[in-house]
Amino acid sequence: MPTTPEPPSRARPAREHGTRAILDRYAEGDPAQTLRLDELLSGLGRRAFGMLLFVSALPAFIPIPIGGAIAGPLVVLIGVQLLVGLRRPWLPGFLARRGPRREALARFDRRISPWLARLEHLIRPRLAWALDHRAAATFTGLLLVLLGVLTSLPIPFTNFLFGAMALMFALALLERDGALMLLAWLATAIAVAVSGVLSGTLVEGAMHWLRAVGA
């Protein structure tokens, strides 16, 4: 009795490598080698903004004041490009030829890898509109510009906090997780609002002090 051939199964598209796998790959090799930014971004397609943001946020975790002064402008540059609607990141030549040493990236990879291993059970591709819709990308760009400005300011004890928020955006873009992007929006909006209130309070207090001194 002839058998009815089974319909061919639809092959599911392979999921792109996660952030941890990408970092592990970059960490292998000569520790003294400098990983150029243009090489780090090649082949990542629409996730290139996420990798650039990830690398740009690293200086914020250096326990010296200059870390924020390095990370902040880079975050602003990425935010501006999302604001104007670029589909791929653009870097001037002098930045494209620079990048972190493999040793520094490997060290950061070892520190963050346990956290990424836990997050991998929660982070997954979803809510693509929060990543790909033009209005969503514009809003993300605006928040990144504000976050970059805050990171650049010499506000004590905030570099790690603002750097963590930048990493949240980076992971959302790398893992294509719109839910994580919504969380990054909320956290950054709160941080910007609180910083604005505190800045206004400090300015007002300084004016009162100056008037008291001049009286």
Task: Provide the whole-model pTM.
Answer: 0.78
Per the structure, the complete domain to which residue 144 belongs is given by: 19-189
Q: Is residue 185 in some structural domain?
A: yes
| pLDDT score for 5 | 46
SS (HEC) of 65-132? CHHHHHHHHHHHHHHHHHHHCCCCCCCCHHHHCCCCEHHHHHHHHHHHHHHHHHHCCCCCCECCHHHH
11 within a domain of the structure (yes/no): no
203 found inside a domain: no
| Phi and psi, residue 192, nearest 5° | -65, -45
- pLDDT in the model for residue 200: 60
The predicted pLDDT at position 83 comes to 93
Return the pLDDT at 152. 87
pLDDT of residue 42: 79
pLDDT at 11: 40
144 part of a folded domain: yes
Could you report the per-residue pLDDT of 20-53, keeping only the tens digit for each? 777 777 778 787 788 888 888 877 777 889 989 9
Q: Is residue 156 part of a domain?
A: yes
AA identity, residue 54: F
CA distances for 193 relative to 3, 9, 83, 198, 200, angstroms? 68, 51, 20, 9, 11
Q: How many domains does one find in the chain?
A: 1
Alpha carbon distance 109, 32 (integer Å): 16
Which segments in the chain show pLDDT lower than 70?
1-18, 65, 198-215
